[in-house]
Structure 1
């Protein structure tokens, strides 16, 4: 595997009121991988994302990008955020311009790019999120899902190396979740590192290459999604149950309905496996 693009090394964070957000938290991100940051509410997922983007500074420990410690000077943070983009869970916290194109162009303009380059980036970003005809729309007229996509477009216009998303599937219907997952897949295929926080283990198991599990302000386990989701003790410590597809597959294997082997990553894929086995005569019932 290539060298890490982002690293948290024994990071701790104490908020001004004395509450602990992170404690001895370490995790690593590599280029072009799809990561799920899995954990219950209050586990520290948002705090991790805000550290990776430089919005928060660690009380202890260190963060690195391409092996170099974060530079928290004004110019250093500008450079960091041009490479590491963060999409908030609530789009209304991120959108502040009257028109869609104004909001998406804000970041590129701050980089000092010329007008033609800014227009090209805005057009490409809106096209990527399926909003190519909405550049002149008023932001306040958009649906919740459209606002989320504008936020993502604003980050994509910066052409980041890393895309961080805080609970991006929250509030989206099933078709929009599918569209967003497909977009994130495309970005990862182009070499962008994608890290999203979620408490939905079924989605994490279905989508992610790797999972970082958060509990009590620490990353308690990391690994490939199929391997990690089979570790019941880790999931229990994080207040999670096994993914439905994994649990159902194990039950069908125990009953002799399916042969032992890797579990499909979703219930739909498991149903496809059952249909295939029945069609081939392996299952006769």
Structure 2
């Protein structure tokens, strides 16, 4: 059965690999990206997101079987929170009516193991409250202190996105409508976004210290794409609200083997 699947960030990296795999198996893909996509849209801009929702819904004839949101940036700039959080959540919310018309609707987003790194609680809170202007103001303030402080916008955006997925996944709009919503959190993926970072031994050592990957080391985009495709396939009937750390063991290396003790009675 041919499915209509929307892939954001379809022009490069994980999104391009995901779109290619889906097309190869016969699915209809509607790609969204800044350029070289079926629908060109800047997801950092609210008006562009609204237009992308309209054009995507029209192109899909009102019925979408799955949305896979891969678009994202990691630069120490305010636009990172706009693209990585609002560009994902508002697009998904806007496409909900078209998803609800599918016989087996699914959605998955790309988070990051950076969601485990230090972040700005104020920025995360503003994003989860849906206050984009406040979020951008906080991001501007962080970035004004230089790239090191500005980088915090990235893990903050992914922490907020991961929390949004968990929060929304069990609501009537998603679980109640029979739509599994999940996230995949990669480790260090070999994409154009990381190419410069991984071209210098000094920055590679820094990356590997922050993202230790004992299994397989730096991963190809396909390692994430295949998981996203399963999560948005009809086979996934009950997995909901999960942030799956597909990261070569980075999560376990950093957090350890016991993540359950918080629930134990003292």
Q: Please classify the TM superposition score into its range, dividing by the shorter chain length.
A: 0.3 to 0.5
Q: State the TM-score, normalized to the length of structure 2.
A: 0.36
Structure possessing the higher radius of gyration over alpha carbons: 1
Name which structure has the greater RCO, CA cutoff 8 Å, separation 6+: 1
* Structure having the larger proportion of residues in strand: 1
* Structure having the larger proportion of residues in helix: 2
